[in-house]
Amino acid sequence: MPCSVSERQAIKMRDALAHRGPDGAGVWSAPGVFLGQRRLEVIAPGEPGHQPMLSRDGRWALVYNGELYNDAELRTELARTGHEPDCESDTATVCQVLSAWGPRGLERCRGMFAIAAFDTQEQRLVLARDPLGIKPLYYALAQPPGGGGPELVVASEVTAIFEHPAISPQIDPIGLAAYLTTIRVSTEGRTLFDGVSMLMPGRVEELDLRNAELSSESWDLPIEADTGTDVRACLEDSVVRHLRSDVPVCVLLSGGLDSTIIAGLTQEHRIRLPTFGAGDQSNAADGDLAHARELAAQWGLPHHAIRMSQTRFTRGVRTLIERTGQPVSTPNETAIHALGCAIRAGGCKVALTGEGADELFGGYHAPLTRAAAYIESDGNDPAIDFLVGHAWVPPPAMPKLLSPKLARLGDFSQWLADAYRHAYEQELGRPGPSVSPADEAMRGHMRLVRRINLTGLLQRVDSALSQSGVEGRTPFADRIVASLADRLPMDRKFDGSLPPHEGTKIALRDSFDGIVPDKIRARPKASFPLPFQDWLAPLFADLDGEPLIDELFSREAWELVRSAPHQHWSLAWPMINVGLWARRWFA
Q: At what angle are helices 90-101 and 71-80 packed, to 10 degrees? A: 40
User: What's the rounded Cα separation, in Å, for the pair 291 and 525?
Assistant: 12
Q: At what angle are helices 479-487 and 437-448 packed, to 10 degrees? A: 150
- For residue 141, list its beta bridge partners: 152
User: What's the rounded Cα separation, in Å, for the pair 573 and 333?
Assistant: 13
Any residues with CB less than 8 A from the CB of 105 and at least 6 apart, and which?
A: 97, 98
User: What is the torsion angle, in degrees rounded to the nearest 10, for the CA atoms of residue 470, residue 463, residue 389 and residue 201?
Assistant: -90
DSSP characters over 76-139: HHHHHTT---SSS-HHHHHHHHHHHH-GGGGGG--EEEEEEEEETTTTEEEEEE-TT--S--EE
The continuous run of DSSP H or E covering 187 comes out as: strand 186-187
Rg over alpha carbons for the chain, rounded to the nearest Å, is 23
Q: Are 409 and 173 in contact (CB under 8 A)?
A: yes
User: What's the rounded Cα separation, in Å, for the pair 148 and 150?
Assistant: 7
Cite the beta strand spans of 325-460 per DSSP E: 350-352
pLDDT at position 269, please?
A: 79
Any residues with CB less than 8 A from the CB of 322 and at least 6 apart, and which?
A: 584
> Which DSSP state fits 449?
I
Q: Residue-wise over 103-130: b if at least 16 C-beta within 10 A, else e?
A: bebbebbbbbbbbbbbbeeebbbbbbbb
- Tell me the one-letter amino acid at 38: R
pLDDT at position 430, please?
A: 79
Sign of torsion over alpha carbons 567, 570, 572, 573: positive
- For residue 68, list its beta bridge partners: 111
Q: Are 357 and 476 in contact (CB under 8 A)?
A: yes
User: What's the rounded Cα separation, in Å, for the pair 343 and 28?
Assistant: 32
pLDDT at position 151, please?
A: 92
Which of these, 75, 18, 67, 72, lies nearest to 42 by C-alpha position?
Answer: 67
Q: Which residues of the chain have pLDDT under 50?
A: none
pLDDT at position 527, please?
A: 62
Read off φ and ψ for residue 64, nearest 5 degrees: -145, 130
Domains and CATH numbers, the chain: 7-167+199-220 (3.60.20.10), 231-361+449-521 (3.40.50.620)
Stated pTM of the model: 0.96
pLDDT at position 29, please?
A: 94
Residue 411: Cβ within 10 Å count: 14
